[in-house]
Every structure is written in structure tokens, then in C-alpha cells.
Amino acid sequence: MNFFDLSGQIALVTGGNSGIGLAFARGLVKAGASVAIWGRDEQKNADALQNIQALGGNAQAFVCDVTKEEQIQSAFDATVAHFGKVDACFANAGGSGKQGLLHKQTTADWNAILDLNLNSVVHTYRPVIAHLIARKAPGKLIVTSSTAAVMGMGYAAGYGTTKAAVLGLTRALAIELGRNNIQVNAVLPGYIETEMSINTPQAFRDAALRRTASGVFGTLEQMEGVAVFLASKSSDFMTGQSIILDGGHSISPM
């Protein structure tokens, strides 16, 4: 038996049209899954779809802004109408929000990052959980957190707060859903060059690299396997956990 085989599985990846989400989607189709990618930008969705289909994968893209609960419900309904079911959900869409000192930010800035990185995960998970329980089916819920959840990240309090909050959500849901054979876990990437991170100031990147044990930043290809593991039978006895992929950045004191 191949414990990493995802044939017949349907995985949903929010933010699947770019960066880490697209890497997850690529890994999943390589392991045999069919993949639904959600994103706001139709052109990025179409390009990502081509990218995934070039691997011989079965995929479909759905336009969805995950900060809008009603769009999530419609995208989820459309996903199930297209594929017939969902087995694994990667709540990956997110962003860095406004940088800067917390006391200089507005309540609107704060609420925006909560909507994008925390409330979006709750709103995405809800219909997936209801769907899995109604089908009496096992399932996998995976959120993209960040090493910012476990390291202090000045000038990005909203980002660090939301990425830590989803770890609490992960543990709570792992307990709520354990008896339903639904596993809930989190991935915490370190610095990976993507559209989101490309504008990180050079001084921050240099400092981060100095204290990264591997001496190099991560690549998108290195994100593919963890998605397969967390969507597959191999992770059936793992729930409520966080996997850090950061080349040793977060364990290094200097």
C-alpha cells in the first residue's frame, strides 16, 4: 500500500493560484488528488489551472474572496457541484496586512488582517466540516500558519497574532472532530519567496538568513510533500499539530 496515494481524493486549496498554495496543489495532484483552487483573480486562477493541468492533474478554479463569507459558501457549493465531494481543505489564502507600529494602526487595519488570516479560515472550515460530517467521511483540515506564530514579529502584530490564533483553532478543532476521523493540522513555513514575501526589506532578509541553520531560504518545491503527507493516510494519527518548515530559522538563537 502506498500511504501517500491520494487517488480519488478531492482537495480544496484556498489561495491555490500562487506561491505556497499553488505548490500544495501541485504536490497534491502529483500524488493523484483532484484539486479545487480558490482565488480572487481570474487570470491568476486560469494560469495556475494551466500549470496544474500541465502535470496531468485534474483541477478546477473558483473565484472566491475568502474575506466574504457568502462568497465562501457559493464557492464551496460550486466545488462540491463540480467534484461531488471534498476530502481535504487547505485554508492557505492570506497576506501580511499593513506593517507598522500597532498603536499607529487603525481599527480598520486590525480588522482587515483578522478577516484575511483568521476569520477566513473559520468561514472556510465551517461548510467543509458540515459536509464531512453529513457524509460520515474522514477528512483533513490544514491551515497555513507561519513561523511568525511562534517567533516575535515586530511591526507585524496583526500577522503574528492571526498566525498564532489559527494554531489555537487547529487544536480546538482537532478535539472537536477527532471522533469523526477528521484530522486538523497546521503548516508553519519560514521565509519562502512568493508574491507576498518578495517585498520584504533586504535588511530583514539578511538577518533572517544569518540565523537560518540551513543557510538558505525555502523553495516552493519543498512545500509540496508536506501537503501530500497531511492530506494522506500517513497523517491519520496526527492531529492538532504544527509542522515547521523553516530550515531551522525558528530554533536558532542568532
Active site residues: 159
Hey, is 216 helix, strand or coil?
coil
The CA distance from 178 to 27, in Å, is: 25
Hey, is 56 helix, strand or coil?
coil
Contact 252, 52 (CB under 8 A): no
CB of 76 to ligand NDP, least distance (A): 13
Residue 68 vs 233, nearer CB to ligand NDP: 68
* Residue 125 engages ligand NDP in binding (rule: CB under 6 A): no
20, 35, 88, 182: which one binds ligand NDP (CB under 6 A): 20
Residue 8 vs 168, nearer CB to ligand NDP: 168
Secondary structure letter of residue 218 according to DSSP: B
* Residue 124 engages ligand NDP in binding (rule: CB under 6 A): no
Cα–Cα nearest to 128, from 94, 167, 93, 89: 89
27, 97, 127, 189: which one binds ligand NDP (CB under 6 A): 189
* Residue 57 engages ligand NDP in binding (rule: CB under 6 A): no
* Residue 41 engages ligand NDP in binding (rule: CB under 6 A): yes
Query: What track of x and - describes contact with ligand NDP for positions 71 through 110 (by CB under 6 A)?
Result: ---------------------xxxx---------------
Name beta bridge partners: 244.
188
* Residue 158 engages ligand NDP in binding (rule: CB under 6 A): no
Total residue length of the chain: 254
The CA distance from 179 to 115, in Å, is: 29
Cα 186 to the center of its chain, rounded Å: 8
CB of 193 to ligand NDP, least distance (A): 7
* Residue 197 engages ligand NDP in binding (rule: CB under 6 A): yes
Residue 151 CB neighbours (<10 A): 15
Longest CA span, the chain: 56
CB of 25 to ligand NDP, least distance (A): 10
Interface residues with ligand NDP (CB under 6 A)? 14-15, 17-21, 39-41, 44, 64-67, 92-95, 116, 144, 146, 189, 191-192, 194-197
